[in-house]
Amino acid sequence: MGLVPSTSSRMYVDLIYGKTSKYANWDPAKRIQIGDYGIVDRETGAFEPEGNIYTDPAIKGELAEADKVIDGDPIQTYYVSTGRATSRQGHLEPEVSLPGVVEASIKGEWDFGNERGAALIMSNPRISSLPAPLLQRLAALPVLKNKRIVTEMYTCPAFFMYLSGKKQDHLKIELRALAPIAAAAGVTAGGGVGVGWRKEYRDGVVQDAFHPEGKYSYFPLFNLKKLREPSSRRESPEPESVANLLWVDAPVPWDILDEDGNEFVDVVSDSE
């Protein structure tokens, strides 16, 4: 991918957040885990963990068996695009091409307009999350005050991410992998030969990866929560909604960005 300005990473995070209320990981191979807590770098958009509730000596001793991370079942694919991206086609459809072998493919084409846009595609992502009762108890911990905590994590064995430039562009991608039917029907592609991603584009920044053994090695998307301000909490909430009332999605820590990914600066004229 080469060196890119830090404003590119922040722009990508900002665009994905605006569509999903979740944070994108500019470096999806960098491990982010459920229970990580820390801050978001205002300049780069990167989440910087300072600890984890499951390993922090002051916290982990208070955790019970029921507080373990909840791992969801894999889904076929996850896709999000932003800006004026127009999808021409996109699908994931396993097809038997040879006896005992399945060919799984993700194909897609998008047109991006003059304004900046982003796209994120994950193959067979699995969503993990914190139990709601645990999240409710964590609200009382001083260490989490003014911090952001990872409450939901998307992991996958293959991802593709794209940040468009400021010119019109046409993006075309394809992921193809060969695997035994038994493996392709499950969560891995072990024993198969991974071909990986093929892509066509003229401008922008692209990152992609494909694990040939189907291991969940990438962490492209996650949800961050912060404690709600006390003055905005409702009185006498229903028990099942307490966690949602104590915690809210953490907003991005920067102002509106321009097309270059820089924050707009308010300019007051001399006449005012």
| Residue 219: exposure state from Cβ atoms within 10 A (0-12, 13-18, ≥19) | buried
pLDDT interval class at 74 (50, 70, 90): very high
- d(CA 37, CA 133) in angstroms, rounded, equals 18
Stretch 114-140: mean pLDDT:
92
Which residues are CB-neighbours of 112 under 8 A, at least 6 positions away?
83, 84, 85, 164, 168, 169, 170, 171, 204
Residue 261 has pLDDT above 50, yes or no: yes
Confidence (pTM): 0.83
Residue 3 has pLDDT above 50, yes or no: no
pLDDT interval class at 236 (50, 70, 90): low
Residue 81 tokens, joined: 């695009």
Q: pLDDT, tens digit, for every residue of 183-203?
A: 444 444 444 444 689 899 888
Q: Are 126 and 153 in contact (CB under 8 A)?
A: no
State residue 6's pLDDT score. 73
Handedness of CA 266, 114, 108, 179 (dihedral sign): negative
CA distances from 161 to 22, 26, 78, 128, 173 (A): 15, 9, 12, 21, 10
Stretch 99-117: mean pLDDT:
73
Q: Which residue has the tokens 């021409």?
A: 88
- d(CA 119, CA 127) in angstroms, rounded, equals 19
Residue 49 tokens, joined: 């963990």
Stretch 116-142: mean pLDDT:
93
Percent of the chain surpassing pLDDT 90: 51
Q: Would residue 92 be called left, alpha or beta, if left means φ above 0 and alpha means ψ between -120 and 50 degrees?
A: beta
Q: Are 226 and 49 in contact (CB under 8 A)?
A: no
Residue 220 has pLDDT above 80, yes or no: yes
Q: Are 69 and 34 in contact (CB under 8 A)?
A: yes
